[in-house]
Structure 1
Amino acid sequence: MRQGSSELVKVLSGSFERELTVNVFTGTDRVLVDERFESWQVDSGLSGRVCSDGSGVLVHASVGGESLVPVGTRGVLSPFRARVEPVVTVRAGGFSESVSLGVFRVTGVPSASDSTVLFDGRELVVASRVGLKFFSLDEDVERWGFRFPEQSPVGASAYGEIRRITGMPVEVTVPDVALPAVKVWEAKQGGRLDAVHELGRILGGTAVVNSRGAWVVVPDEVGDPVATLRLGELGTVLDVADEIDTDTVYNEVVGSFEDANGNPFYSVAAVSVGDLAVTGPYGRNTRYYASDLVKTQAQGDAAVQSVLDLSIGSQVYDVQVQCHMHPLIEVGDVVALEGWSRPLVGQVRAVKLSDSAYMNVTLRVHRELS
């Protein structure tokens, strides 16, 4: 969740005005501040390789007749050097607070033009309009390949490897785990980002870069809500709670593992009583599971039981919500929805922000199975 004051949270539950501007960076130097940004959008999701992407048109009023239209690698808005920071400012009465949506890498300039006037026989630029495409900072890792296959250090942990191979800050959101053996990361297109995503799965979630420019792991399991979304009069909810799909409701899990000496062993967990019992009318729906982290029979038995409990304890489905803009919400946050016909709590899997007063959110909700 992005940072905001308690007063801002109160304001977001009522009526407010919002405005988005951008700051522009070259390296760590902020070269432009509070530039107007039009026709913008920022889309984030947990299903893509890079978490967030966006676009918009920066409108710069020239002070000394300068142009901001980039030429190749030159210019502060050149995609070969520029980073942008979209900032949402929320106002209500005498209250005003700004929220950074994060720093993004500019990857393209789809359009650019100058408005000019003639003055004393010279043509002067009075304004520049530059269209920008940008991605979250995991794009840097996507582009940065391994020069040759790399091995993880002996005794490395999953979070330690994310720090090492990205060179970026890491915020610990789930318990760290030791890598079971030396891992070899391939030297291929996107291989460094593939490695980070694999480490995220080892940690039990999805690795993404948050608005503070740090790697986090969004856990697969839905926790307690940290914020409330407001539906509003124009809000919509496409709820598919009445749809039931049993394909992923497993009542038997078979684990296949190897011990520290490379000898195979197996673990099985199954539902023995109730509506989902393997001997009942539902029959058997078997899932197979393997993990490099499991090295003993006890670990294997615990692992398959955990997978089984997750399967029979809940089934996930996605709910599409259009609600009032809430700039503090990021993908991975668990939120409650206010104003719907029934209580709804889910994990934000995708969020689309734009210059609209509403935003679109995909919530992953758990349906409990008895």
Structure 2
Amino acid sequence: MRHGSNQLSDTLSSTFERELKVNIYNGTERVLEGERFESWQLDADLGAKVCTSGSGVLVHESVMGESLSPVGTKGLLSPFRARIEPVLTVRDGDFEESISLGMFRATGVPATSDTLVEFQGEEVVSASRVGIRFESLDEDTRRWGFRSPEQSPAGASAFGEIRRLTGMPVEQTVPDVPMPTIKVWEARKGSRLDAVLELGRILGGSAVVNSRGAWIIVPDAVGDPVATLRLGELGTVLDVADEIDTEEVYNEVVGAFEDANGNPIRAVAEVTSGDLAVTGNYGRNTQYYSSDLVKTQEQAQTAVQALLDISTGSQVYDVQIQCHVNPLVEIGDVVKLEGWKRPLIGRLRRVSMSDSAYMNVTIRVHRELS
């Protein structure tokens, strides 16, 4: 969750004005500040490899007749060098507060145009309009490949390996765990990012880059809500709470693994009592699992039991919501919806913001089964 004042949280529950501008960085130097940004879109998806992407048009009013249209690697807005920070300002009367939506890597400039005017007999640029596409900083990790297969250090922990692989800040949001075995990361396109995502699963969640530019693990377990979304008069909820789907409710998990010497390890976990018992009316619904990080019988049994507990603990379904913009929330946050016919709490899987007063979100809700 992004940080904001208590007064901002109160303001977001009422009517307010908003404005988005952007800062541009080349390396660590801020080269442009508070530039107008139009026709913008910011889409985040917890299930995507690169979790956030966006686009918009930067509008720059020239001071000395300069053009901001980049040419190849040259120019402050060249995607070969630019980083972009969208900043959303909320206003209500005398109150004003700005929230950084994060730092992003510019990945493309689809179109540019300069407005020319005549000044002292010469044509000069009065304004530049530059379209920009951008991605969250996990794109840096995706592009950075291994030169050859690379082995994790002996005794490494999962968070330590994420730090080593990415060279980026890491916020430890769940307990660290030792690597269960030395792991070899393959040299192929995107394998460094794939390695980080696998480490997230070892830590019991999903690895993403947050708005502060740090890797975090969004845990699988849903905790208490950290924010409230407001539905409002024009808000909509596409609620599938009445839908029941048994396809992914497994009551038996079968695991197949190998120890350090290549000998097979087998492990099974099953439900033996209640409505989901394998001997009951539901019958058996089997899930299979394997991982080269499991090397002992104890690890194997723990792994299949954990998967069984997740499957039988609840059924998940996604609720699509259009609600008032809240710049404090980001994917992975557990939120509560206000203004709906019944309480609704779940984890934000998708967030789509634009220059609209409303944003579209997808909340993954759990229905208890046992």
Q: Report the TM-score range of the alignment, normalised by the length of the smaller protein.
A: over 0.9
> 1:230, CA displacement in angstroms?
0.3
> Relative to structure 2, which stretch is displaced further, 220-229 or 85-94?
220-229
Deviations 1:29-71 (A, max 9, x none): 0000000000001101022221111000001111111111111
Contact 1:335 1:348 in 2 (8 A): yes
Give the structure-1-normalised TM-score: 0.96
Distance 1:199 1:294 in 2: 13
Distance 2:312 2:248 in 1: 9
SS at match of 2:237: strand
Structure 2 residue aligned with 1:345: 345
> 1:237, CA displacement in angstroms?
0.6
The reply to whether residue 63 of structure 1 matches residue 82 of structure 2 is no
Give the structure-2-normalised TM-score: 0.96
Superposed counterparts of 1:137-176, under 5 Å: 137-176=137-176
Superposition CA RMSD, Å: 1.5
Superposed counterparts of 1:69-108, under 5 Å: 69-108=69-108
SS at match of 1:90: strand
Contact 2:181 2:295 in 1 (8 A): no
Contact 2:105 2:135 in 1 (8 A): yes
Contact 1:180 1:292 in 2 (8 A): no
Structure 2 residue aligned with 1:233: 233
Instruction: Kindly provide the amino acid, as one letter, of the partner of residue 219 in structure 2.
Output: P
Contact 1:83 1:104 in 2 (8 A): yes
Instruction: Kindly provide the amino acid, as one letter, of the partner of residue 18 in structure 2.
Output: R
Instruction: Kindly provide the amino acid, as one letter, of the partner of residue 318 in structure 2.
Output: D
SS at match of 2:217: strand
Structure 1 residue aligned with 2:276: 276
In structure 1, the gaps of 5 or more residues are none
Displacement over 6 Å in runs of 4+: none
Instruction: Kindly provide the amino acid, as one letter, of the partner of residue 70 in structure 2.
Output: P
Structure 2 residue aligned with 1:250: 250
> 1:296, CA displacement in angstroms?
4.3
The reply to whether residue 221 of structure 1 matches residue 198 of structure 2 is no
The percent identity for this pair of structures is 73
Structure 1 residue aligned with 2:367: 367
Instruction: Kindly provide the amino acid, as one letter, of the partner of residue 154 in structure 1.
Output: A
Contact 2:205 2:217 in 1 (8 A): yes
Structure 2 residue aligned with 1:39: 39
> 1:323, CA displacement in angstroms?
0.4
Structure 2 residue aligned with 1:301: 301
Structure 2 residue aligned with 1:191: 191
In structure 2, the gaps of 5 or more residues are none
Instruction: Kindly provide the amino acid, as one letter, of the partner of residue 158 in structure 1.
Output: A
SS at match of 1:322: strand
> 1:294, CA displacement in angstroms?
4.3
Structure 1 residues 160, 45: CA separation in 2 closer, same or farther (over 3 Å shift)?
A: same
Instruction: Kindly provide the amino acid, as one letter, of the partner of residue 194 in structure 1.
Output: D
Distance 2:300 2:147 in 1: 36
The reply to whether residue 324 of structure 1 matches residue 324 of structure 2 is yes
Structure 2 residue aligned with 1:135: 135
> Relative to structure 2, which stretch is displaced further, 170-179 or 323-332?
170-179
Distance 2:248 2:120 in 1: 74
